[in-house]
Structure 1
């Protein structure tokens, strides 16, 4: 069977989307992409950035880094130095953002490690010998066999619980 042919990335003509559902979906996707780009720009270049967008339905959406007040104040008065209070708020906001970005990096790193461990466990699972309970299709069991399995698993569970109690004692 031949691989499915995709259209790939294409240049989309710049014109308003006529289909309302397509317009809403595109707006949502592009809005998230715009927020990601603004966040990257702020993080990588250390700039303050603000975005205000109105959706096709008229709902306002905004993204500000570091704070809306400081970005708007700097936009209104670009030549005026920031007040001490604004500088402190800005510094605190930037510090918090730096901490959150560091936490995100650590989480993503541990996620990658977990994916690698999961891949290794899958490889081990594929090569290890299977127990009899894994080789029997559960759908083929009759009522008596199901009851037999339940009894076996309950006995196993009680053994595990006894071992746990003995270990605690």
Structure 2
């Protein structure tokens, strides 16, 4: 049987870090990991979750409602998806326009031009 080159997964005893910079860095990394895990739990299990963390100096108290943040981010993603769909639709319409409509634009009346501009801007084409 071959011997392993590495020691593998080991249990590291928890102890207070003496170096203040290392301690602060570790605190930041671990707290962001907690937020990430909490967000996944909220998203997958549809639960309410709160996290309270205070720094080693006791100066800051951070309270996070992960469900609200996840819902806010989901709402933002939905808004961006809607904007993307509208933009893609306008691009497709613009591509259709570029296929031959521009040759006849010089024959538009002022009313036709205004309706065409409104259609380009708002996606509405009103008949008078």
Structure with larger RCO (C-alpha < 8 A, sep 6+)? 2
The TM-score normalised by the length of structure 1 is 0.36
The TM-score normalised by the length of structure 2 is 0.46
